[in-house]
Amino acid sequence: MTSTQNGDTQPNASDADLEDAKTEQKFQSRAIPFLSAFNDIETHLRIVLEAKRSDSFWWMVDRAVDKHLLSRRQGEVLKDYGNLRNAISHGRYNNGEPIAEPHPVVVKDIEMLRGLLIDPRSALSILQPTNVVSLSPDSPVTDALKVIREDGFAQIPIYEDNKFVQLLTTNTISRWVATDLADNNALDARTIADVLAMVKKIDQAVFLARDITAQEAVDALISPDKVGRLPHAAIVTENGERNQKPLRIITTSDLAILIDSLSLE
């Protein structure tokens, strides 16, 4: 601050410049961070998809959905943002800044989408770590029942000589009980192999690598196979190979957490 001859104080040049900068920052158009995030997304998609210059933004978004980089809803939102980008870019400007203003939620969402695309979180970094209990076909049925009762696990992978055999679930147990009781009103099965032999309908599992993204994990659990069956769980291994050591079981109960991590405002 500087003093005048009559004792009044006036802001010096540096103070005035600082106030002007603060005012400019305060009233900066929201279109600027929106366009910045949009351009980052467009550039990233063009690189990872190896898109041609002639490939449209909508085409790239569709390919990103196909490759599980985005959810279908996120893709539709990005297409809407593409229309908004065009409206801003080709609209009227005042002092170098666009007049059209995206809603604050829109800016927040597109910045979140930029993060999800450019630096996606892995599913395992979002979910709480849990132990994986596996059994063998020769294991007594009582071992499986104990795991379900004491550990609360509804899915138990069955391995024989380090090779995946089948996913044993509480649904499988229920079908076995119903089938085994039907002939003589007694449970005759003694081993897990006996249980699996009696049950015709088996719950399926998919295998995912440990660095699988949240979006890829969600898509894997909600995508039916060729005959229309949804997987009952995803078994995470080092490289997604079925005969590798299981690191975590991702179940439908984990879906809500994963989907929430991908949700927009």
Intervals of the chain under pLDDT 50: 20-27
Does one domain contain both 27 and 86?
yes
pTM: 0.79
Q: What is the pLDDT of residues 154-193, one digit of tens each?
A: 999 999 999 999 999 999 999 989 988 888 888 888 999 9
pLDDT at 244: 96
pLDDT at 23: 43
Token pair 């990103």 is at which residue? 64
pLDDT at 1: 54
Does one domain contain both 27 and 133?
no
Does one domain contain both 134 and 242?
yes
Does one domain contain both 37 and 154?
no
Local structure of 36: helix, strand or coil: helix
Does one domain contain both 42 and 92?
yes
Q: What is the pLDDT of residues 33-46, one digit of tens each?
A: 999 999 999 999 99
Does one domain contain both 44 and 78?
yes
Does one domain contain both 103 and 162?
no
Q: Domain boundary at 94, 119, 144, which?
A: 119
Local structure of 147: helix, strand or coil: helix
Q: Domain boundary at 101, 119, 137, which?
A: 119
pLDDT at 22: 47
pLDDT at 200: 81
pLDDT at 19: 53
Q: Say how many C-beta atoms besides its own lie within 10 A of residue 191's C-beta.
A: 18
pLDDT at 2: 54
Q: Which domain holds residue 214?
A: 125-262
Domains of the chain: total: 2
Amino acid at 47: I
Q: Domain boundary at 91, 119, 147, which?
A: 119
Which residues contact residue 155 at a Cβ distance below 8 angstroms, ignoring those fewer than 6 apart? 167, 168, 169, 170, 203, 205, 232, 233, 249, 251
